[in-house]
Amino acid sequence: MGFRMGIVGLPNVGKSTLFNALTKTAAAQAANFPFCTIEPNVGEVAVPDARLDTLASIAKSQSIIPTRMTFVDIAGLVKGASKGEGLGNQFLANIRETDAIAHVLRCFEDDDVTHVDGRVDPVSDAETIETELIIADMESLEKRLQNIVRKVRGGDKEAVQQERLMKAALEMLEQGKPARLVEVDAEDLKQWKMLQLLTSKPVLYVCNVDEDEAATGNALSEAVARMAAEQGNAHVVISAKIEEEISQLDAEEAEMFLSELGLEEAGLDRLIRAGYELLHLETYFTVGPKEARAWTIRKGTLAPQAAGVIHGDFEKGFIRAETIAYEDFVANKGEAGAKEAGKMRAEGKTYTVKDGDVLHFLFNT
């Protein structure tokens, strides 16, 4: 499984430049004027994981298939988006279809790049977007509460549950706080997700800095870091310009370029890892002579459900999973060595798959 992360922000903060770098395409037109992205651009990107290359090398796999993530480049929101300002309503709907939000904030000064509000203040920009999403959620909930009154009066259990959750969300939003701060019980999670509230989605702040500040950040990105910590959200510091340049280079050239800039790795790698953490995702592997492949699951996934990510029949007919930890696979130079060393385990339906597990599923057809 993968997930969809929406890239949002005010106009001219570097969203489309970042998207171009992510997908290594010029599909999103990066231009110095608002609303250059009229339709959301969707791109899939391979998740970088050095472990996959190591496993493929040991198993002499013919092909390597990384797991993938989907990014959606959503046009710049402005103050009043919830009221339809700019191209607001259309883009609020696009955000609703994503699993998480990467909120790109301008943390660089450049007189040649217009700021929609005429000044550079990433914390204020973040508040502007958050306010628009809060207003949109409030309006959505107020309408939906009116629409389910009859069902609630009739004693419809699902409607009663929905009303309770919607009122809890509305109470939080009326305080100017996002819906993700509402404490939701396990039995309410399914209905809560069905509300599709914009402010219930986890947020990753992406601080877009100048090229010469990519390694150190600056005062603006530090202000964002403090804000993110106070909110319990995550943040990463990258230079979208650097990432776009790197995306056009081969691996050796990219490594040299990063080294010259004093960077250990590409910012996009950090961004993707932060996205994984944000949604509590992890990776397991299947390895053989034909292919070495990475699969994405949520943390806490049991073996049958992990098998179901490959094919539904694997989950239905699950018998057991032959499991080798990544470290044991590498230390013993592959499956045969791990087996001889007693490092392969047979795990049943109650086994919780761990990040890095190398798995082989046995199932009934």
pLDDT digit string, tens, across residues 298-311 = 999 999 999 999 99
Cβ atoms of 344 and 338 within 8 Å: the answer is yes
Provide the pLDDT for residue 118. 66
Residue 104 in marked binding region: no
16 in a known ligand binding site: yes
What mean pLDDT is predicted for residues 38-65? 86
Q: Is residue 226's pLDDT more than 70?
A: yes
Contact (CB, 8 A) for 209 and 239: yes
Average pLDDT, the chain: 86
Where is average pLDDT lowest: 52-56, 110-114, 211-215, 237-241?
110-114
Average pLDDT value for residue range 235-239: 93
pLDDT class of 296 with cuts at 50, 70, 90: very high
For residue 255, what pLDDT band results from cuts at 50, 70 and 90? confident
Q: Indicate the Cα dihedral angle 339, 345, 349, 353, nearest 10°.
A: -100
Q: Can you tell me the mean pLDDT for 1-23?
A: 82
Neighbours of 81 (CB within 10 A): 25
**Cα–Cα distance between 101 and 205 in angstroms, integer?**
8
Instruction: Find out whether 14 is annotated in a ligand binding site.
Output: yes
pLDDT value of residue 269: 84
| Cβ within 8 Å of residue 201, ≥6 positions away | 95, 98, 99, 100, 101, 180
Beta bridge partners of 176: none
CATH of domain 4-48+66-138+199-278: 3.40.50.300
In terms of pLDDT, which residue wins out, 339 or 89?
339
- Residues 19-45 have a mean pLDDT of 56
Give the model's confidence band at 249: pLDDT under 50 very low, under 70 low, under 90 confident, else very high: confident
In terms of Cβ atoms closer than 10 Å to its own Cβ (0-12, 13-18, 19+), residue 214 is buried
- What are the Cα distances from residue 5, in Å, to 41, 68, 118, 157, 210? 12, 12, 28, 33, 24
Instruction: Specify the pLDDT at position 35.
Output: 36
Q: Domain ranges in the chain?
A: 4-48+66-138+199-278, 300-363
State in words which class domain 300-363 has: alpha beta
The predicted pLDDT at position 189 comes to 92
CA-wise closest residue to 237 among 211, 212, 255, 214: 214
17 is in an annotated binding site: yes
Residue for token digits 């319990």? 232
User: How many Å apart are CA 224 and CA 202, to the nearest integer?
Assistant: 16
What is the C-alpha separation between 363 and 321, in angstroms, rounded? 9
How many residues does this entry show for the chain?
A: 365
Tokens standing for 114? 């217009």
Per-residue model confidence as pLDDT tens digits over 92-151: 777 888 889 999 999 988 776 656 556 789 999 999 889 888 998 999 999 999 999 999
Q: Does 138 or 35 have the greater pLDDT score?
A: 138
- The confidence score (pLDDT) of residue 188 equals 94
Q: Please tell me the predicted confidence (pLDDT) of residue 205.
A: 96
Provide the pLDDT for residue 289: 95
